[in-house]
Amino acid sequence: MKNYLIILRYKVPLETVELHTPAHRAFLKTQYEANTLLLSGPFVPRTAGVLWGQAEDRTVIDRMIENDPFHVEGVADYEVFEFSPTMHAPLLDALFASQSD
């Protein structure tokens, strides 16, 4: 599995972001159930958000973004970074066990 850090930068006022947040979070829940997402949440202060995803291929991540209500409604721009974790906390051992070199 490849790891992806995804930054969502809001391009509309926060009031508009909040209108679409319930649909966005419901969509993210489906991505957790599909084991595509591992973590998500807004920045503090709430100017953007972050997702940590895993997939065999970047196209899975791109497809996820295309279907995110924040993307569909023009709420956010997305930056995707593939990264290769080299160290992690012991509580993440099970997550990374299959990714050892």
Domain boundaries, the chain: 2-99
Mean pLDDT of 47-72: 97
pTM for this prediction? 0.89
Residue type (1 letter), 3: N
DSSP secondary structure, 22-37, as one string:
HHHHHHHHHHHHTT-E
Q: Is the predicted pLDDT of residue 2 greater than 80, yes or no? A: yes
Q: Which long-range contacts (CB under 8 A, 24 or more apart) does 18-24 make?
A: 20/69, 20/70, 20/73, 20/75, 23/69, 24/68, 24/69, 24/70, 24/75
Mean pLDDT of 33-58: 96
Q: Is the predicted pLDDT of residue 29 greater than 50, yes or no? A: yes
CA distance linking residue 73 with residue 52, whole number of Å: 21
Task: Write down how long the chain is.
Answer: 101
CATH superfamily, domain at 2-99: Dimeric alpha+beta barrel (3.30.70.1060)
Mean pLDDT of 78-92: 91
